[in-house]
Chain A
Amino acid sequence: MENLCSINNLAACLVQGGMNPDLANLLTTLGGVVLVATVPLVTVIFLIWVERKVAARVQDRIGPNRVGPFGLLQSVADAVKMITKEDITPQGADKFIYNLAPIIAFASVVLIWAVVPFTPLHIGADLSIGILYFVAVASIGTVKIMIAGWSSNNKYALLGAFRTIAQLLSYEVPLVLSLLIPVMISGTMSMQEITRQQGGMWFFFMAPVAAIMFFIANLAETGRAPFDLLEAESEIIAGYNIEYSGFKWGMFMAGEFMHAFTACLLTAVVFLGGWWGPGVEQIPVLGFIYLGLKTGVVYLFALILRSTVPRVRIDQLMTLNWKWLVPISVANVIMTAFLLKLVQWLNLAPQDGTLGAALPQTIILFAGNLVLGLVLFNFIRNMGRSQRLADQAVPVLGEHEESPVHAVGD
Chain B
Amino acid sequence: MAVLNEWAFIGVFFSIAWIFPFLPIFMAHLLAPHKPNSIKQSTYECGVETVGDTWIQFKVQYYIYGLIFMVFDVEIVFLFPWALAYKQLDFFGFFAGLLFVFFLFDALVYAWRKDALEWV
Contact = CB atoms under 8 A, between A and B. Distances in A.
Interface of A: 25-26, 29-30, 32-34, 36-37, 41, 79, 82-92, 99, 102-107, 110-111, 114, 124-128, 131-133, 150, 153-156, 158, 162, 165-166, 169-170, 172-173, 176-177, 180, 183-184, 187-189, 237, 242-243, 246-248, 250-251, 255, 314-315, 318-319, 322-323, 326-327, 330, 333-334, 337, 340-341, 344, 349
Contacts of B3: 128
Closest 5 CB pairs of A and B: A315-B119, A106-B21, A247-B28, A125-B9, A107-B17
Interface of B: 3, 5-10, 12-14, 16-18, 20-22, 24-25, 27-29, 31-36, 38, 40-46, 50, 54-55, 58-59, 61-62, 65-66, 68-69, 72-73, 76, 79-80, 83-88, 91, 94, 97-98, 101, 104-105, 108, 111-112, 117-119
B54 A326 contact: no
Contacts of A103: 18, 21-22, 25
Contact of A327 (B84, B91, B108): B108
A254 to B, nearest CB: 8
B34 A86 contact: yes
Contact of B72 (A33, A126, A165, A326): A326
Given A90-B41, A330-B104, A150 B117 contact: no
B117 A155 contact: no
Contacts of B28: 82-85, 87, 246-248
A340 B76 CA distance: 19
B35 to A, nearest CB: 7
Given A102-B21, A156-B44, 11 more contacts: A87-B34, A107-B21, A125-B6, A127-B6, A128-B3, A162-B58, A166-B61, A166-B62, A169-B69, A255-B21, A337-B98
Contacts of A150: 55
Contacts of B59: 162
A251 B29 CA distance: 14
Contacts of B108: 322, 326-327, 330
A155 B101 CA distance: 40
A321 to B, nearest CB: 9
Contacts of A132: 80
Nearest to A318: B119
B7 A177 contact: no
B16 A314 contact: no
A166 B65 contact: yes
Contacts of A125: 6-7, 9-10, 13
Contact of B117 (A105, A162, A319, A337): A319
B31 to A, nearest CB: 5
A380 to B, nearest CB: 18
A83 B27 contact: yes
Contacts of A25: 5, 8
Given A83-B24, A337-B98, A110 B32 contact: no
B31 A187 contact: no
Contact of B20 (A79, A87, A110, A319): A110
Nearest to B59: A162
Contacts of A326: 72, 108
B68 A90 contact: no
Contact of B105 (A34, A102, A330): A330
Nearest to A333: B101
